Homo-oligomer: A and B are copies of this chain.
């Protein structure tokens, strides 16, 4: 625990707690969570070796402090906020740097992974003394003046996440065991991102079958909310499509092979993979989608 202002005789009466966090991952979400914590007086360490110039710039702009990997363990909590495909790799790194420490900091996985992946991840820490918490972020990156997103935490019997709450994050502790937050995230993302994948596929089909204009007119008349939602959320998806591929695969794993809906999410992963290729490549599909979405009928 780090306390500050001890040299100031006034503030020694009100001992101000200034926690140290480490966040591995400084993407749009990781850096915005860091900024929220920093704005509330915290210090946020991060590890940037091998990251892109853009990521490094974003981390610095948020006020994150780059350190070497071992120094991450000086934090009171280590958070992982990365694409789901990297969750286990990051856990391995944390298990590695924490090994042999008498009192390593707790580790919170905040990624969109299946409960089983979460359990496999926690197993990497067995016998290490690291307390592992299961977290899930629902909602977009924190924005000044808004309270969201909501961060769900399960397995937090010692209320380690209170530190995050004290620094401006909206936390909900779930009673369920480790994996409960991940299960919630899977279900929510399945509905929310699944809908975006489904609609993307159908708008592209409308575009190539000549039904784009009539579909647009019918949506704006009979499902105006859907039309409005799509014209925001489909373009928002373009830069994230690559990340959603692994997330859809996690949802498929979560559902399990006995559930026929598993097939839905395997297909959904392929839809986002195709979008991700297009976004980085020819942008032919992006053009088709934009053409439908930009039509004034569903653009407001």
Contacts and interface: CB of A to CB of B under 8 A. Distances in A.
Interface of A: 115, 138-139, 148, 150, 152, 172, 174, 176, 180, 183-184, 186-188, 190-192, 194-195, 197-199, 201-206, 209-211, 214-215, 218-219, 221-223, 225-226, 254-255, 259-268, 270-271, 273-274
A295 to B, nearest CB: 14
Contacts of A198: 190-191, 194-195, 198, 261, 264
Given A187-B206, A198-B195, A263 B270 contact: yes
Nearest to A263: B267
A263 B266 contact: yes
Contacts of A274: 260
Given A187-B211, A204-B259, 8 more contacts: A148-B222, A180-B210, A184-B214, A184-B218, A191-B226, A198-B261, A261-B267, A264-B271
Given A184-B215, A209-B183, A201 B259 contact: yes
A119 to B, nearest CB: 12
Integer count of this chain's copies in the complex: 2
24 contacts: A150-B221, A152-B214, A172-B214, A174-B214, A183-B210, A184-B206, A184-B215, A186-B205, A186-B209, A186-B211, A187-B211, A190-B205, A191-B202, A195-B198, A198-B198, A198-B261, A201-B264, A205-B255, A260-B273, A261-B270, A261-B271, A263-B266, A264-B268, A265-B267
Contact of A203 (B115, B172, B187, B199): B187
Contacts of A152: 214
Contacts of A201: 190, 255, 259-261, 264
A116 to B, nearest CB: 11
Nearest to A202: B190
Nearest to A174: B214
A110 to B, nearest CB: 15
Nearest to A215: B187
A139 to B, nearest CB: 6
Contacts of A172: 214
Contacts of A223: 191-192
